[in-house]
Amino acid sequence: MSNPTFEFSHAITRRPTASIIDGLRAEDIGSPDLEQMLKDHAHYVATLKATGAKVIELDGVDAFPDAVFVEDTALCLTKGAVLMRPGAATRLGEVAQMEATIRANFEDVRQITKGHIEGGDILVTEREILVGRSDRTDAEGVEELRSLVSDWGHTVREVFTPPGVLHFKTDCSLLDGETILSTKRLDASGCFEGYRVLHVAEGEEVAANTIRFNDTVLCPAGFPRTAETLRAHGYKVVEINNSECAKLDGGMSCLSLRFNIR
Ligand code: CIR
């Protein structure tokens, strides 16, 4: 495999802690169960490792209930990394918790200092970086990201996360250099023109937040028609229970930062 958009040597994850019950959520559908979440998290980490990647497993930070959702704190690219500035006030401090690990792995580290942007709103494809404006990501944050990554050769395109959807990637994932898995509602916005788009099955919108990690697509369990679509298109799928993270609007992408420094 030589395609940098889905070839990863490393991932960073962080264990959930007891404070997970205080994690942010749009709607209260019950408190996450830490024991179950730890089991699911271990399955997730083992699946990443099984692809041959090194997983940097960070200890939980009890002071930050949402810290398990590491994706929102940084954007890892080939030439460097950018520390984010989360739009959720309770999550701002998570960036400082991640900074040392990012600096240990990247020589060139830049930082968003204006506005807000969360990693969950960023989809990196082979040709561009799509950033969805959302309740967590604003125009100022998008503009600063654009200026920070332009000399690394990246083009940033501002798009829009559908109303009521937490992050852009809540509704889509990159499956390979040209293929995106998306909900119909997000694809209908026209943001994926020029890409091949597979739709998640009707009623399985939650399954849009998957990750392609080396030869494997990690998919939340319980969405059999979408898993079948992926398998029918030749992807190797591993289904991971996501019942507890889902109570906090989290999914497969949120649980790791992924990069390639092989
Ligand atoms: C939050 O509301 O910020 C967390 N409870 C969930 C974050 C999910 N992160 C992601 O989609 N990248």
CA–CA gap between residue 23 and residue 99 (Å, rounded):
21
Q: Strands 211-213 and 216-220, how do they pair?
A: antiparallel
pLDDT of residue 6: 78
CA-wise closest residue to 198 among 181, 183, 220, 221: 181
Q: Is 178 left (phi over 0), alpha (psi -120 to 50) or beta?
A: alpha
pLDDT at residue 243 greater than cutoff 60: yes
pLDDT at residue 3 greater than cutoff 60: no
CA of 245 to the centre of ligand 1 (A): 9
Beta bridge partners of 181: 173, 198
Report whether residue 170 contacts ligand 1, using a CB cutoff of 6 Å: yes
pLDDT at residue 93 greater than cutoff 80: yes
CA-closest residue to ligand 1 atom 7: 250
Sequence-ordered list of residues with C-beta below 8 angstroms from that of 37, at least 6 positions apart, any chain:
16, 20, 68, 244, 245
User: All domains of the chain, ordered by start, with CATH?
Assistant: 10-259 (3.75.10.10)
CA-closest residue to ligand 1 atom 9: 254
Mean pLDDT of 196-222: 97
Which ligand 1 atom is nearest residue 248's CA? 5
Report whether residue 101 contacts ligand 1, using a CB cutoff of 6 Å: no
User: What are the tokens at 158?
Assistant: 């501002």
If DSSP codes are grouped into helix, strand and coil, which group holds residue 196?
strand
Report whether residue 24 contacts ligand 1, using a CB cutoff of 6 Å: yes
If DSSP codes are grouped into helix, strand and coil, which group holds residue 113?
coil
Report whether residue 69 contacts ligand 1, using a CB cutoff of 6 Å: yes
Report whether residue 71 contacts ligand 1, using a CB cutoff of 6 Å: yes
CA of 215 to the centre of ligand 1 (A): 25
The residue behind tokens 């050769």 is 153
CA of 58 to the centre of ligand 1 (A): 18
pLDDT of residue 262: 67
pLDDT, tens digit (0-9, with 9 covering 90-100), for 5-22: 679 999 999 999 999 999
CA–CA gap between residue 155 and residue 157 (Å, rounded):
7
pLDDT, tens digit (0-9, with 9 covering 90-100), for 27-64: 999 999 999 999 999 999 999 999 999 999 999 999 99
Report whether residue 134 contacts ligand 1, using a CB cutoff of 6 Å: no
* Res. 4 pLDDT band, cuts 50 70 90: low
pLDDT of residue 1: 38
pLDDT of residue 73: 98
Which ligand 1 atom is nearest residue 250's CA? 8
Q: Could you give phi then psi for residue 131, rounded to 5 degrees?
A: -125, 120
pLDDT of residue 150: 98
Q: Which residue spans within the chain are E strands per DSSP?
A: 10-14, 54-58, 74-76, 81-83, 109-111, 122-124, 129-133, 156-160, 172-176, 179-182, 196-199, 211-213, 216-220, 236-240, 257-259
Q: Chain-wide mean pLDDT for the chain?
A: 96
Residues designated as active site: 167, 254
* Res. 2 pLDDT band, cuts 50 70 90: very low
pLDDT at residue 77 greater than cutoff 50: yes
CA of 250 to the centre of ligand 1 (A): 5
pLDDT of residue 244: 98
CA of 180 to the centre of ligand 1 (A): 21
pLDDT, tens digit (0-9, with 9 covering 90-100), for 139-162: 999 999 999 999 999 999 999 999
